Chain A
Amino acid sequence: MLPSESTEAIVLRRKVVLSFWAVFVFLGLPLWFHTTTIHRTPVPLSAIETLDNELKDGLGLSRDDDPGLHIAVGVKKNCLYGITTREISDELQRLLRTEWTSSVFSLDLVDADECSGCSMPKYTLNCIGSDRTPLPKTISEGLEITVYIPSNHGSKEIIANGLYDAFVGDFLFFNKHDLGSIDRAMSPTTGILSTMYRGATYADAIHLSFTLLIALDSSGGERAIEALSPEFQTEWRVHAEKVWNTLKFGELNRYVSSITFDTDVGFQYMTDGSDEWARVEQDVSSDKLSSLLDTWDLQPITLLTTSSNSSAVKVLQFVYFLPPYSTNTKSLSFTVANWGGVVMAGDSPDLPAAMRTFGRQIDKLLSPVSFSLANGSKSRKTLPHRHEFARIATIMNLRGAIETLSALSRLVTSLQEMAVPSTVRDLVDSAIKEWHSAVVNLRSDFDQVAENQGLRHAAAAAQFARQAVFDKDMMLNMFVPFEHKIAVYLPLLGPVIVPLVAGLRRVVVESRKKEP
């Protein structure tokens, strides 16, 4: 039998147990609730739904203000090779029925020869077959697009006053054989509108990185020795700077706030020149471009965003690769979307030609649309009717923003245990604010300043929406379901609770024993 305890000892034990409980109850429990409560800041879900409906209703834009490529063309019979305008329309509407093109593009075809009393569209498509008739250097002012088609239906020549008109003609020249080309033209990944979509990824500033990549091998090729010389490298930098100067003062400057560039000289060492070069050739021919880029270890740089605002810097890389030894291989070039371009030297390095190729690649990668107009033997590049494409890019960004915000709305609604930090609310508010600014801009009279600002606001809205969805504090807490929390709390608090409860029980039992 245990010896009896003194009253003092019992009181002391009671104080000890209650002091444990005091800390647990007055400090532990409040801290536990505070640190594990899921904080869900209210996100303006109804505002997001309103924007979605607004977009579906056409953003309140009138037909004239409607941003998009809307083309009405009168087609002359000589362009219809056994196909009616109705059939062409139906086919094009079928091709147009993609989610992202349907809001920015429409095409009305009218039979020009049978249009009596109707208002003729802006463009008329007139096709003339000719093998020997010399092509006119110019055509009269007007809106007639004349398409010269060789009798063997080979390459067509399109003569128009402006590139936009040439684009329309190029786009619209159709017959049964050309329906496939229209399909390709409308393809989101390879067609004309895909270049517009790339241009929609708006960046406030552009950085071009030119790299002269010299392959070295154990045989010590002459080409490498020549390329290693300071004179060659100086020449490389001079030509790169010429490209940059052209861009700096060119049309591209109207899109962006700054263009910067840098030049670098890099080396790739090939232990056995022939095998390595053969692999490089194989990669190029089989379109394994990503493996080629990985081999070169030139990191693909995506859009960099500063935290202070939504401005972004688009960085593109351009590589002039000198293979290790002379081959008869012609110069190759290719572009990689969201990365840049590559020119691989042929028999001998030709820096001016490489730079011209880079220039074309830059145009292709950065401009919403650019076309070369063949006028005799000369090629001429300008950016046609940019405001239409800027507006299209604006609306594409707005579509991207609303899709992202809608996804966020569904995420927040469906996952009730996901924390929603206040930063997400702030980003959504910013996205909505930028959205409204972009729409106001779309509804106003367009000029160069307005179109850039509209595009900036829309791109900012898309950027804010993306940041809101991928907020670090929200995403990290998505994967902690309630069952996991139990698994964490039990081993952490269980060993503490058991002696506390046992002690409290003893205190209660003792106090009850004393009461009678």
Chain B
Amino acid sequence: MDSKTWAVFVASAVLKLSLNFLFPSLHSILGQHVEVTTSMTSFKQLKEGLHLYEIGISPYDGGVYHQAPIFLLLFKFLGKFGSTAPNSPTINVFYVFTDIITAYFLCAISKSQSLAKTNQLADWVIASIYLFNPLVVATNISRSTAVLSNAAMIGSIAYACYNRNILSVMFLALASHTNIYTVYLFPPFLLLWTSATGATMASVTKYLIFYIAMSAGLTSIGYFMTGSLQYLSATYGSLLFFKDLAPNMGLWWYFFMEMFDFFRPLFTYIFQLYSLIYVLPITFRLHNCPLMAITCIVGITTISKSYPEVGDLGVYISLLSLFKFIFPNVRYALLAALVILHSLVLAPNFYHLWIYLGSGNANFFYAITLVYTIGMTIIITDTLRAALLIEFQGTENPSKTVIQI
């Protein structure tokens, strides 16, 4: 890492620590915004779960805590070094450190063999895109546990890019344990893991078994902590079956507010299938560039998951920054940026109008989430198109030009 990159790390740490110091209630304000955190990643609910766990009550009994049990162990451990209040020095440093680690992993990915032959942004630029992204900063200050899940996922990518496959599998299992949608990344990760040795049945089986074993191990931690596997219903069940009907930046909640109970199971399965159905086709189509496949799937799950947050967009944009070579072929960057900006500015306003002032209604907020989804869709399709175009031009005669018809 060059000095500029370290300077970016330090500057981001100073920024976040200053924000926490100068505006002590900022974490609480951001923590209440449904765009930034959801019931599946809220720090406030984590604290409640931690308190219940410490006094010997199962945190999954009350229907408040929906996060992985490993977070309880982690924050209980952190509690030994100081208070686990959201604005305490321990938590401040921990979250800042997590974000810096994530940025470090991103820089490492950009210098890996997977992207060696492509034109890359400078490390400090990649780190800045992640660390100074307002969406990522807001997610970090709100103390959303998505920060930790994203760190594990990007760490898994980084280790896979350097052929440290066992560590990569471990981090992927950890990321899946904390955010089940990360399971969708398993097929493109298989391509990454087997890129050096080739995708044989033996190697695929090996990584599959190891992944399942790691996941089982993490699940068993939850079993020993709570005494039963009932927590799976509160964690993965809530996420997959959308049990906590709360507004967020996603597309689900409005449907489920309005529909008859008869159609609820159908819609739940259809909506989950909608994000699953793209995994294999994208993996097949982008088998030459598994990193791009991973990025695409991350983008698709960002718009199709049950409880999305704006931090997911921040991570997606940071992953996109690794593919500088596609930027010249992206056609609708300005349009997508304006649409996203428009939706991010209006979303909190419309939510405030609806919930606090009572002069709006759910349609206001849902319309903006639709606009946000349109913006994301433009980005995903445009970058995918750009990547496929690069692939076509790269494999075919370079003098060929593609004529838009």
Complexed CA–CA distance, A479 and B276 (Å): 32
Contact A16 B281 (CB under 8 A): yes
Q: Does A151 contact B (CB under 8 A)?
A: no
Q: Does B265 contact A (CB under 8 A)?
A: yes
- Give the chain B neighbours of A493 by CB distance below 8 A: 270
- Give the chain B neighbours of A477 by CB distance below 8 A: 260-262
Complex interface residues of chain A between 112 and 158 (CB less than 8 A to chain B): none
Complexed CA–CA distance, A17 and B278 (Å): 11
Count residues of chain B with CB under 8 A from any CB of chain A.
19
- Give the chain A neighbours of B269 by CB distance below 8 A: 31-32, 35
- Give the chain B neighbours of A20 by CB distance below 8 A: 277, 280-281
- Give the chain A neighbours of B285 by CB distance below 8 A: 12, 16
Contact B266 A32 (CB under 8 A): yes
- Determine how close the nearest CB of chain B comes to the CB of A36; give it in whole angstroms: 6
Complex interface residues of chain B between 247 and 303 (CB less than 8 A to chain A): 260-263, 265-267, 269-270, 273-274, 276-277, 280-281, 284-285, 287
Complexed CA–CA distance, A208 and B238 (Å): 43
Contact B265 A480 (CB under 8 A): no
- Determine how close the nearest CB of chain B comes to the CB of A415; give it in whole angstroms: 14
Interface of A is mostly: helix
Contact A36 B280 (CB under 8 A): no
Contact B261 A31 (CB under 8 A): no
- Give the chain A neighbours of B400 by CB distance below 8 A: 3
Complexed CA–CA distance, A36 and B276 (Å): 21
- Determine how close the nearest CB of chain A comes to the CB of B189; give it in whole angstroms: 17
- Give the chain B neighbours of A17 by CB distance below 8 A: 281
Complexed CA–CA distance, A476 and B261 (Å): 7
- Give the chain A neighbours of B267 by CB distance below 8 A: 492
- Determine how close the nearest CB of chain A comes to the CB of B286; give it in whole angstroms: 10
Complexed CA–CA distance, A3 and B393 (Å): 13
Complexed CA–CA distance, A19 and B282 (Å): 10
Complexed CA–CA distance, A4 and B130 (Å): 41
Complexed CA–CA distance, A480 and B262 (Å): 8
- Give the chain B neighbours of A12 by CB distance below 8 A: 284-285, 287
A27 touches which of B262, B273, B281 (Cβ 8 Å): B273
Count residues of chain A with CB under 8 A from any CB of chain B.
27
A23 touches which of B261, B262, B280, B287 (Cβ 8 Å): B280
Q: Does A356 contact B (CB under 8 A)?
A: no
Contact B263 A488 (CB under 8 A): yes
Contact A36 B277 (CB under 8 A): no
Complexed CA–CA distance, A12 and B280 (Å): 12
- Determine how close the nearest CB of chain A comes to the CB of B402; give it in whole angstroms: 9
A24 touches which of B260, B265, B277 (Cβ 8 Å): B277
Q: Given that A28-B273, A35-B269 are contacting pairs, would A19 and B260 also be in contact in the complex, using a CB cutoff of 8 Å?
A: no
Complexed CA–CA distance, A15 and B285 (Å): 8
Contact B284 A23 (CB under 8 A): no
Complex interface residues of chain A between 4 and 61 (CB less than 8 A to chain B): 12, 15-17, 19-20, 22-24, 27-28, 31-32, 34-36
- Give the chain B neighbours of A22 by CB distance below 8 A: 280
> Nearest CB to that of A479 among chain B residues?
B260
Contact B270 A19 (CB under 8 A): no
- Give the chain A neighbours of B274 by CB distance below 8 A: 496
- Give the chain B neighbours of A15 by CB distance below 8 A: 284
- Give the chain A neighbours of B280 by CB distance below 8 A: 19-20, 22-23
Complexed CA–CA distance, A282 and B144 (Å): 62
Complexed CA–CA distance, A488 and B258 (Å): 12
Complexed CA–CA distance, A27 and B262 (Å): 20
- Determine how close the nearest CB of chain A comes to the CB of B249; give it in whole angstroms: 21
- Give the chain A neighbours of B284 by CB distance below 8 A: 12, 15-16, 19
- Determine how close the nearest CB of chain A comes to the CB of B217; give it in whole angstroms: 27
- Give the chain B neighbours of A31 by CB distance below 8 A: 266, 269-270, 273
- Determine how close the nearest CB of chain A comes to the CB of B186; give it in whole angstroms: 15
- Give the chain A neighbours of B287 by CB distance below 8 A: 12
Complexed CA–CA distance, A34 and B273 (Å): 14
> Nearest CB to that of A472 among chain B residues?
B261
Complexed CA–CA distance, A17 and B280 (Å): 10
- Determine how close the nearest CB of chain B comes to the CB of A346; give it in whole angstroms: 47
- Determine how close the nearest CB of chain B comes to the CB of A359; give it in whole angstroms: 46
- Determine how close the nearest CB of chain A comes to the CB of B49; give it in whole angstroms: 29
- B262, B273, B400 interface centre (most CB from chain A within 10 Å): B262
Complexed CA–CA distance, A477 and B262 (Å): 6
Complexed CA–CA distance, A32 and B280 (Å): 21
- Determine how close the nearest CB of chain A comes to the CB of B395; give it in whole angstroms: 9
Complex interface residues of chain A between 281 and 305 (CB less than 8 A to chain B): none
Complexed CA–CA distance, A480 and B260 (Å): 8
**What are 21 A-B contacts with C-beta separation under 8 Å?**
A3-B400, A12-B284, A16-B284, A16-B285, A19-B280, A20-B277, A20-B281, A23-B273, A23-B276, A24-B277, A27-B273, A28-B270, A28-B273, A31-B270, A31-B273, A32-B269, A473-B261, A476-B262, A477-B262, A488-B263, A492-B270
| Residues of B near any A CB (own CB < 8 A) | 260-263, 265-267, 269-270, 273-274, 276-277, 280-281, 284-285, 287, 400
A-B pairs, top 3 by smallest CB distance, nearest first, are A19-B280, A35-B265, A35-B266
Extra contacts besides A17-B281, A28-B277, A473-B261 (8): CB < 8 Å: A16-B284, A16-B285, A32-B270, A35-B265, A36-B266, A476-B262, A477-B261, A492-B270
